[in-house]
Amino acid sequence: MQMELPDDIIQRVKQRAVSGVSEADVFRKGLDALDWQDNERAAIQEGIGDMQAGHVQEFDEFDREFRQQHGIAPDASNSKPVW
């Protein structure tokens, strides 16, 4: 497959293709990053959908259950998330 790319893209790929990294690998890594971003966006959207549907739990309740399920002492850490 032959593709024509703008000069600025070609320059950016060449700058990234150093020390044994092929130009194809540069594109592959870029596409992998986009795939990762798409998956993260889908997971966030799923969480938003769950929240809007009322599938929520108070943090303290979740924390208590999580610690019980994983054998973590209730006083293992006094720090709470800052949100």
How would you class 49 by CB atoms within 10 Å of its CB: exposed for 0-12, middle for 13-18, buried for 19 or more?
A: exposed
Taking a C-beta distance cutoff of 8 angstroms, is the pair 72, 66 a contact?
Answer: yes
Locate the domains of the chain by residue range. Answer: 22-69
pLDDT tens digit sequence for 61-73: 999 999 999 999 9
Taking a C-beta distance cutoff of 8 angstroms, is the pair 73, 67 a contact?
Answer: yes
The pTM for the full model equals 0.66
pLDDT tens digit sequence for 29-59: 999 999 999 999 999 999 999 999 999 999 9
Taking a C-beta distance cutoff of 8 angstroms, is the pair 27, 13 a contact?
Answer: yes
Torsion of CA 68, 71, 75, 81, to 10 degrees: -70
pLDDT tens digit sequence for 12-25: 999 999 878 999 99
